[in-house]
Structure 1
Amino acid sequence: MTFYVIGIGNKAPKFTVIQQELIRETKYFSGGKRHLTWVKPFLPKDFKWIPIASPMQSVFDAYEKIEVPVIIFASGNPLFYGFSNTLKNKYPKAIIYTAPYFSSIQLLTNKTNTNSNELVTVSVHGRPWKALDSALIKQLPLIGVLTDGLKNPKTIAERLLRYGCDNYKITIGEDLEGKNELIQTISLKEAVTKKYHTLNCILLHKVTDSKQQFGIKDTDFIGLEGRPNMITKMPIRLTTLHLLDVLQIKTLWDIGFCTGSISIEAKLKNPDLEIIAFEKREVCETILLKNQQQFGVPGIEMVIGDFFEQDIIKYTKPEAVFIGGHGGRLKELLQLLDNQIALGTRIVINAVQEKSKTVFIESCKNMGWSITQDLNISLDLHNPIRLLKAVKN
């Protein structure tokens, strides 16, 4: 299979002499509805057009029936979150020639005379928030964002404000190179009040630095009312993150998150970490959200309700599990985990009661898990805490 992918802008294209000759000698073309409008005057009379639209499998089926080269017109740079990458993933053995145009983010930085040396671009176009959340937690100085109909400048600005990332301003480029081109740099609060052209992309500029901490003070967290000690203390928290290997894993389950201190610290240490936090008490949902807002930590997935009643198979399997609460059913919890987690998964518990220590050690022995860490830590006048780490074999 051979594809020629030509990037074009939001206007009538100017093809090179070689591209014009290639177009004249080709029969099969493909692209979006908007692309056909721009390129139709350049196509031969007997051309065949394969529209790129959902479902994509229909598009691929059409390609696979063709034994001659296909020219595909795509927006901007097809190698930048674009169609050339889609083709490479679908047909790794295909011959693909790409002629890029400016990406929309490049156009916006050029038109605003923005120094893009520090630019990092993420896409939320048909994608989850994860990459943008990670960039915000890292407090990157300049973030380009490829948007879509739902994750647009308004909803993006709302997300930044919701999670305390209000130290950014936003540049919005609408219908770039089109008849309705509009570029504006405004505050996030102003951005949530406006409507936007369907074709848009944005730049997020960090205006001020946020406070970065290596270990958050316990008193800085919002906690359960009347229970100020109901939190994993900072020295214990940091040791727990070490035992969980949060810098080396991709997915963490935090069972019984309470204030969310473990989840928040873990996400701050590894912004790319996927965290699924479970908690039975409904009031903790608001507490975790407020703490996320306070420390600028979006992207923690909350599951409220009894862990034993959750369909946990639908969540990404963890590489590490922190047990912050078990409701007196530790043995059952460990057995449930044993049936779901993969070999090599790390399990960490901070046990205060002697019974919890005994049940954890005996259960691990019965299930064939290895106890790899056993630490006793005392803080001030608090009861000693035993940190136990096991690995499923």
Structure 2
Amino acid sequence: MRIIKDDEFIRAKVPMTKEEVRTLSLVKMDIKEDSRILDVGAGTGSVSIGAAVNCPKGEVIAIEKEDKAVELIKLNIDKIGIDNMKVIHGLALEELKGLNGKFNSVFIGGSGGELDEIIEICYNLLYDEGNMVLNFITLTNAVKAMDKLEEMGMEYECVQVAVNRIKGKSKMILANNPIFIINGRK
């Protein structure tokens, strides 16, 4: 699996899934070279671009509502050299309803407050045996997602990841926010 480093992405004031969390999330997505992948709430596009480099014969669709984020995703697609990815600019619920076909994996990194509905639509867009991977910074949303997956009869696991970086001459430990990674299988 090819992992793109954080410093390879063009950054701005747009949320980005950090390298270690992104790596674990991509592994849990079980990407094959011909996978069809959906990224909901794509931010900088770090997860969807990471998926695209690992499914060169497949397709990645990223949905993002923020103008600046969509511009950033397109810049990162050009910078990394991705040709198997489509960016949809719009609200997740509206755009999800217009998608055709099934997906091997769905990544949900943002929900705009409509988490239950997004999970339900994404579940229906998954192939049988497909994976849904969700990342959350808050326990409230992680629990809400697990409750929804359980309600739909989806098997899942949840891990909480905390990454710290050691910097400077004094070897100061700088913590990133802990992240909940939920992986469900249809």
Note whether the superposition's TM-score is higher than 0.5.
Answer: yes
TM tier, shorter chain? 0.7 to 0.9
CA contact (8 A) 1:251 1:316 kept: no
1:252 matched residue in structure 2: 37
Which residue among 153, 156, 161 is the counterpart of 1:377?
Answer: 161
Structure 1 residue 313, shift from structure 2 partner: 4.6
Matches within 5 A, 1:1-393: 214-225=2-13, 227=14, 230-247=15-32, 250-310=35-95, 312-371=97-156, 373-380=157-164, 381-392=175-186
Local SS of the residue matching 1:288: helix
CA contact (8 A) 1:254 1:278 kept: yes
CA distance in 2, matches of 1:352, 1:221: 21
Task: Please list the CA deviations of residues 209-236 of structure 1 after superposition, one character each: whole Å capped at 9, or x if unmatched.
Answer: xxxx9422213211233x5xx2111111
Structure 1 outlier segments of 4+, above 6 Å: none
Local SS of the residue matching 1:272: coil
Structure 1 residue 384, shift from structure 2 partner: 1.4
The amino acid of 1:364's aligned partner reads: L
Local SS of the residue matching 1:316: coil
Percent identical: 27
CA distance in 1, matches of 2:48, 2:96: 21
CA contact (8 A) 1:249 1:319 kept: no
CA distance in 2, matches of 1:239, 1:339: 24
CA contact (8 A) 2:33 2:58 kept: no
Task: Please list the CA deviations of residues 167-195 of structure 1 after superposition, one character each: whole Å capped at 9, or x if unmatched.
Answer: xxxxxxxxxxxxxxxxxxxxxxxxxxxxx
2:171 matched residue in structure 1: none
CA contact (8 A) 2:33 2:57 kept: no
Q: Which has the higher contact order (CA 8 A, sep 6+)?
A: 2
Quote the RMSD (CA, aligned, Å). 1.9
Structure 1 residue 363, shift from structure 2 partner: 0.5
TM-score by length of 1: 0.42
The amino acid of 2:39's aligned partner reads: D
Structure 2 segments unaligned to the other structure (5+ residues) = 165-174
Structure 1 residue 247, shift from structure 2 partner: 2.2
Local SS of the residue matching 1:257: coil
Q: 1:238 to 1:311 in 2, by over 3 A?
A: closer
Structure 1 segments unaligned to the other structure (5+ residues) = 1-212
Task: Please list the CA deviations of residues 276-305 of structure 1 after superposition, one character each: whole Å capped at 9, or x if unmatched.
Answer: 111111222221111111111122111110
Q: 1:350 to 1:342 in 2, by over 3 A?
A: same
2:168 matched residue in structure 1: none
CA contact (8 A) 2:6 2:19 kept: yes
The amino acid of 1:379's aligned partner reads: V
Local SS of the residue matching 1:325: coil
2:170 matched residue in structure 1: none
Number of equivalenced pairs: 176
Higher radius of gyration, 1 or 2: 1
CA distance in 1, matches of 2:27, 2:178: 19
Q: 1:295 to 1:234 in 2, by over 3 A?
A: same
Structure 1 residue 269, shift from structure 2 partner: 1.9
CA contact (8 A) 2:123 2:132 kept: no
